[in-house]
Amino acid sequence: MRKMAHVFVLACAFLLSGCVSVIKVAPGERTVGEHLQISLKGAWNHIDAPAMCGPHCQVWTMEGLPIDQLLIYSGLENDQPIHADSGQSSLKAFRFRSGMQPDQIVALFEGLLTRNGSTFKLTKLEQIPFAGTKGFHFEFKLIRKTDNVELLGTGTATESKGTLFAIVYQAPRLMFYPKHQANVADIINSAKIK
């Protein structure tokens, strides 16, 4: 519990330092990026922090970044990384390549989510329709290195015209993941590529 409080304090300090801003996203139809349209039944907080996952991804949260994250990729093109450039040459880059298979795309997200030393375990991978195209869905467990909290996650993605579209959500297993799981499923089911 003490480690969780430490993570929360660090995240608050990060937000207050002016590195990011928080924008309230009201319920209704929303366009993310230029091509992905989604429908929200509840309000979310958009964390304007391109340094977290790059310019083709938006980070949203219901409870605050130390608790839950919704990553929305709306148009990641061939050879672009799924993360922001950390400036550290020792960290491996995880780049999307047109024509990747679902398990290869999941491996990109595994790389993104474990860059800080966290542990990832894929628990489900299946083909499903997404955003009006052929896509896939995956579920995972993540043990966060900073505080050993077990997170559950879900993701759905598709490649359309050589571009990656994906929605990935993660939150602590015991309370917050079940609390927002249906809301996230509604967002994923509402997605359309324009």
Would you give the distance in Å from CA 119 to the centre of its chain? 16
- How does strand 133-143 pair with strand 150-160? antiparallel
pLDDT digits (tens, 9 = 90+) for 120-148: 999 999 999 999 999 999 999 999 999 99
**Percent of the chain scoring above 90 in pLDDT:** 76
Predicted local confidence at residue 136, as pLDDT: 98
Instruction: Examine the pLDDT at 56 and tell me if it is beyond 90.
Output: no
pLDDT digits (tens, 9 = 90+) for 3-48: 443 344 334 434 434 456 899 999 999 999 999 999 999 999 999 8
Report the 3 state secondary structure along the chain.
Answer: CHHHHHHHHHHHHHHHCCCCEEEEECCEEEEECCCEEEEECCCEEEEECHHHHCCCEEEEECCCCCCCEEEEEEEECCCCECCCCCCCCCCCCCECCCCCCHHHHHHHHHHHHCCCCCEEEEEEEEEEEECCEEEEEEEEEEECCCCCCEEEEEEEEEEECCEEEEEEEEEECCCHHHHHHHHHHHHHHHCEEC
CB 131 within 8 Å of CB 159 = no
pTM of the predicted model as reported, rounded to 2 decimal places = 0.87
Q: Give the whole-angstrom CA distance, residue 44 versus residue 63.
A: 9
Q: Domain ranges in the chain?
A: 2-193
Predicted local confidence at residue 49, as pLDDT: 75
Domain at 2-193: CATH code = 3.40.1000.10
Predicted local confidence at residue 3, as pLDDT: 41
